[in-house]
Amino acid sequence: MATNFLAIKLGSSMTTIYKQGEGFILSEPSLVAVNLKYNEKQIVAVGSEAKKFIGKSSDSGITVVSPISEGIINDSALASEMLKHFLLKVCPKHIFKPTIRALICVPLGISLAEKLTFERTCYAAGVSDCVLIPSVVCAAIGAGVNIESSEAHMVVGIGAGCTDIAIFGENMLINGVNIGLGGSNIDKAIIQQIYNNCNLIISDEMAEKIKKDIGSLYYNDLNSLEISGKDAETGKAREEIITAVDVYPAIEHYYSKVIESISSLLSVCSPEVNNEVSRNVIALVGGDSKMVGIEKFFKTKLGINVRSYIDAEDVEMVGASKLLDSPQTLKHILVNI
């Protein structure tokens, strides 16, 4: 029986799967729609199909949840059912149950208990064997950062649920930290900002649209967008035109927290490592590293050149696919990370 080799990212926002020999074959929201009418979590839909129930499920007793928050699995049963659904799409059963070996991308510095939850979730979903690796390691490789270099390089992975900050050198993780803040925190802050400024209640989807369409780290950016929501007093639908300036405080606050964490990490490193990181460009990866003005904002605050990638949301899985295709490199890295 043939063995299927996969690289899997169980993210707070999206689940992505790469299959050796076929490429990237699945990217769906990490969502499960469940019916709670009978006090049981009866699964109604998963992934893209579950997303269709958002905002439409209050009368039916169906609620849409993510079993993964801040990069950590918070409902192993739902997460395993979700992953099982995705695996059936990419490795369909024929006569026999498929053999699946997987490289699983996880947040940096998770606890032993959290690692065991990832493993149990994967095994319950039908994975035969799995290896866990920090997502930021894969991101560094996917971004082309030379982690084998004798000089230290920093990579900052800004995801939907959490942010990983890591310093690499000579195929080793010199130092690193995971902070439980990600793009979803920006969305929540935007919702609050719009409520405070406009007395308008908006959805998570509208907040994400605002972030992607006019979000900016230029404090005087005047790009505008017409948004819709519910008037907080009357409860009626209402439209409003806002500018990037209106949501700048929410966005600036989050990225300033990331910068504070970078500075804190550097403060506990040796002067040599600090100098090497400063000489090299900090690689910003992950979907929320593409914010308008981020390179100038970070350089101004840190005094270090940074680089954001056009395909920033994809580099992690690109790196994971490279490691999946190169077992010797993966083995060497796992020994040192």
Task: Check residues 161 and 293 and name the one with the higher pLDDT.
Answer: 293
Residue 176 has pLDDT above 90, yes or no: yes
Task: Check residues 36 and 180 and name the one with the higher pLDDT.
Answer: 180
What is the rounded CA–CA span in Å between residue 23 and residue 318?
A: 10
Instruction: Flag whether 100 is in a domain.
Output: yes
8 A C-beta contact, residue 284 and residue 309? yes
Run of H or E including 78: helix 76-90
Query: Residue 60 — very low, low, confident or very high, per pLDDT cuts 50/70/90?
Result: low
Mean pLDDT of the chain: 92
Q: Are residues 3 and 108 in the same domain?
A: yes
Query: Residue 35 — very low, low, confident or very high, per pLDDT cuts 50/70/90?
Result: confident
Task: Check residues 95 and 295 and name the one with the higher pLDDT.
Answer: 295
Backbone angles phi, psi at 217, to 5 degrees: -100, 15
What is the rounded CA–CA span in Å between residue 96 and residue 77?
A: 24
DSSP-assigned states of every residue in 156-219: EEE-SS-EEEEEEETTEEEEEEEES--HHHHHHHHHHHHHHHH-EE--HHHHHHHHHHH-BS-T
Q: Are residues 205 and 218 in the same domain?
A: yes
Instruction: Flag whether 255 is in a domain.
Output: yes
Backbone angles phi, psi at 146, to 5 degrees: -85, 85
Domain boundary among 250, 267, 290: 250
Range of the domain at 238: 184-250
Q: Are residues 12 and 104 in the same domain?
A: yes
Q: Are residues 21 and 39 in the same domain?
A: no
Query: Residue 143 — very low, low, confident or very high, per pLDDT cuts 50/70/90?
Result: very high
Residue 57 has pLDDT above 70, yes or no: no
Mean pLDDT score, 269-290: 94
Task: Give me the pLDDT at residue 93, please.
Answer: 76
Instruction: Flag whether 9 is in a domain.
Output: yes
Residue 1 has pLDDT above 60, yes or no: no
Instruction: Flag whether 70 is in a domain.
Output: no
Mean pLDDT score, 148-163: 93
Q: Are residues 2 and 19 in the same domain?
A: yes
Domain boundary among 65, 91, 114: 65
Query: Looking at the 3D structure of the chain, how many domains does it have?
Result: 4
Task: Give me the pLDDT at residue 59, please.
Answer: 60
- To the nearest whole percent, how much of the chain has pLDDT over 70? 96
8 A C-beta contact, residue 65 and residue 78? yes
Q: Are residues 22 and 35 in the same domain?
A: no
8 A C-beta contact, residue 176 and residue 265? yes
Instruction: Flag whether 13 is in a domain.
Output: yes
What is the rounded CA–CA span in Å between residue 246 and residue 193?
A: 8
Q: Are residues 8 and 95 in the same domain?
A: yes
Q: Are residues 157 and 280 in the same domain?
A: yes
Which tens digits make up the pLDDT trace of 79-130?
999 999 999 999 987 766 789 999 999 999 999 999 999 999 999 999 999 9
Q: Are residues 196 and 216 in the same domain?
A: yes
Residue matched to tokens 């109604």: 44
Q: Are residues 175 and 260 in the same domain?
A: yes
What is the rounded CA–CA span in Å between residue 82 and residue 221?
A: 40
What CATH number did the domain enclosing 219 receive? 3.90.640.10
Query: Residue 39 — very low, low, confident or very high, per pLDDT cuts 50/70/90?
Result: low
What CATH number did the domain enclosing 171 receive? 3.30.420.40
Residue 58 has pLDDT above 80, yes or no: no
Q: Are residues 105 and 216 in the same domain?
A: no
Q: How many CB atoms lie within 10 A of CB 143?
A: 22
How far is the CA of 325 from the CAs of 131, 153, 330, in angstroms?
A: 14, 24, 9
Mean pLDDT score, 199-214: 95
Instruction: Flag whether 325 is in a domain.
Output: yes
Q: At what angle do helices 271-279 and 244-267 cross, to 10 degrees?
A: 140
Q: Are residues 278 and 168 in the same domain?
A: yes
Question: Model pTM?
Answer: 0.90
